[in-house]
Amino acid sequence: MTNVDRAVQLAPRLDRQVVLKVLFVGGLLSSFVWGWTHLDMSILGFFKDLGNVGNLLKRMYPPDFSETGRIVESMAETVWMALLGTVGAVVLSYPLAIGAAANTTPHRAVRGVCRSVISLSRAVPELILAAIFVTAFAPGPFPGVLALALHSIGMIGRLFADAIETAVEPPREAVISVGSSRRQMIRSAIIPQALPSMIATALFRFEINLRGSAVLGLVGAGGIGLVISESLETIQYKPALAAVAVLFVVILAIELASSAVRRSLIGEAANLVLQSQHQSLFSRFMVRRDSERIRRAETTRAISPPWTSDRLFRVGAATLALALVAVALFSVDIAWLSALRNIDEIGIVLGQMVPPSFVGERNLVVSGLLESVAISIVSTTLGVVVALPLGVLMARNVNLRRWLATVSRVVVLALRGLPELIIAVIFVAAMGLGPVPGTLALSVTVAVFAAKLFADTMEEVSPAPREAVVSVGASRPQEFVASLIPQFVSPFIAHLFYLLDVFFRSSTVLGIVGGGGIGYLLIQSIRVFEYQLTSMIILGVFAIVLVLEWLGVAVKRLYR
């Protein structure tokens, strides 16, 4: 065999799949170029705009805590709104998840209806829902709580249903064999298996809702977002930084506490102590005491589980959560009886949204949607470009300097504490109105969000190909290129379309703070009661989301 023949055999065949992959890469590059030119962005302007943001941050320092009382009061209202919204979503999601799960609902039609309700609930961002509810009721925290509760069903209901469907069959079959009804079977055999995952989902959603509730004040739904927006609009930058600092600390503290509870729910709290190489005397004592209690329970065949430190921690966390919900109900400024009595106002508003109509604003709607698409494409691309090297730094199986990986993760966790609309408000204040500040602000959010996603994916790759490459003498860069990148490509494509989906939704509300896109027209249609135009814009957003989901599925099949 000649060298030419051997080279021909080694070269990839130009088949349909290769052509489609080349077209996909070309389409990505073309869409970025289109978005960049559509938004009238430039390289020189890019660095100048970032310099303006840096100058604004300098003028915001040091923070002014002279209005600490108002900041703390608004922050407390934000936390209570997030907590009550999450609790409301859990209550509403539970029956929907039971109806959507195949092992609890045999009727296909019922499952289809429940899953449709779950999917539709996340079609409209919570900020838009809050704006609609503010017009239906009045400014205040109640529209915010209602918006968070309804929007959260889309995530909580779906993950609850998935947790219920993953329950193993033997306990279910055992309960049915002794004559239990379907309700008894669900309550005693399925829910106990799904409960840890369901609680972890609720805690994770609470973290998301905390960021979401922080910006609901921008549309009059209460919270600390109103304080930040008012401070920036009146050029009081130092009080604004004080409010942002308080928001950042509270979100970070709650995320850390929530993560500790989630680890405990899946049994990691004790494992981390057992695996620690530097256990304190107290830790050793707790491990020995827990082991003794477990052994005693097994010996005596106790019906209830032993009171280990992990169980005490979970019970304490549950008691604290119930106490916080009670405090929230009485602390937040909501007249519950009056609000619930006027809940039919939502139906009146929804009735005015039918049928959807452009109301003579077809060109503005189309241009606004195209601008939102351009913002999401450019911001996602810029964010991913930053997130890829940051993800490599954060991946512990790639970056051998563990301290650097840890520091990178801490920095990303810190930046994740700021909601994208708060970042957008700062960028707009520094650069002026328009899509460019909105795009740059969204790029920051994409970068910190995607970096963790990419790092976790890199840490989950199979070590076998890497070991095989190393065994033949490959260097670390060769090992990275030859073994890790091929495994990373397929999940990266899936993550890319997920990011486009998520941040297209975010781009549709940037206009509320002057960051470009369809958001300005959307919020104006709500404020002037043009609800038919509102529903038409929402349908346009939903159609684009469906196209992105379809493209994502098609491309994922291509890279399998």
User: Domains in the chain, please, with CATH?
Assistant: 67-228+252-275+288-297+307-352 (1.10.3720.10)
Q: What is the pLDDT of residue 378?
A: 92
Q: Is residue 268 over pLDDT 60? A: no
Cα–Cα separations (whole angstroms), residue 461 to 390, 403, 458, 486, 499 = 17, 21, 6, 10, 20
Is pTM beyond 0.85? Reply is no
Q: What average pLDDT does the segment 512-524 reach?
A: 84
Handedness of CA 33, 36, 41, 45 (dihedral sign): negative
* Spatial distance between the Cα atoms of 390 and 394, rounded to a whole number of angstroms: 6
- Exposed, middle or buried: residue 297 (CB in 10 Å: 0-12, 13-18, 19+)? middle
Q: What is the pLDDT of residue 458?
A: 78
Lowest mean pLDDT among 296-310, 443-457, 540-554: 296-310
Q: Is residue 129 over pLDDT 80? A: yes
Q: How do residues 334-388 score in pLDDT, each as one tens digit?
A: 777 777 777 777 778 778 888 888 888 889 889 989 999 999 999 999 999 988 8
* Spatial distance between the Cα atoms of 101 and 160, rounded to a whole number of angstroms: 9
Q: What is the pLDDT of residue 16?
A: 67
Q: Is residue 270 over pLDDT 60? A: no
Q: Is residue 518 over pLDDT 60? A: yes
| CA 173 distance to own-chain centroid | 36
Write phi, then psi, for 13 (nearest 5 degrees): -75, 140
Give the amino acid at 168: V
More confidently predicted of 1 and 37? 37
Q: What is the pLDDT of residue 207?
A: 79
H-run or E-run covering 36:
helix 16-38
Average pLDDT, the chain: 77
* Spatial distance between the Cα atoms of 159 and 90, rounded to a whole number of angstroms: 11
Q: What average pLDDT does the segment 109-121 reach?
A: 82
Q: What average pLDDT does the segment 434-447 reach?
A: 87
More confidently predicted of 261 and 430? 430
More confidently predicted of 272 and 324? 324
Minimal CA–CA distance to 522: which of 402, 371, 407, 383?
371
Handedness of CA 455, 459, 465, 469 (dihedral sign): positive
Q: What is the pLDDT of residue 269?
A: 39
Lowest mean pLDDT among 58-67, 103-112, 232-241, 461-470: 461-470
| Percentage of residues in the chain having pLDDT higher than 70 | 80
**Angle in degrees, 0-180, between the axes of helices 362-394 and 485-507, rounded to the nearest 10:** 140
Q: Is residue 275 over pLDDT 50? A: no
Which of the four pLDDT bands, split at 50, 70 and 90, describes residue 62?
Answer: confident
Q: What is the pLDDT of residue 374?
A: 92
Which of the four pLDDT bands, split at 50, 70 and 90, describes residue 285?
Answer: very low
Lowest mean pLDDT among 182-196, 267-281, 387-401, 448-462: 267-281
Q: What average pLDDT does the segment 385-411 reach?
A: 80
Q: What is the pLDDT of residue 375?
A: 92
More confidently predicted of 260 and 163? 163
Helix boundaries (H) for 395-484: 402-415, 420-431, 435-459, 463-471, 476-479
Q: How do residues 291-319 score in pLDDT, each as one tens digit?
A: 555 555 555 555 556 666 666 766 777 78
What torsion, rounded to 10 degrees, do the Cα atoms 121, 122, 127, 128 define?
-60
Residue 503 neighbours by CB under 8 Å, 6+ apart: 376, 379, 380, 383, 442, 445, 446
Q: What is the pLDDT of residue 370?
A: 92
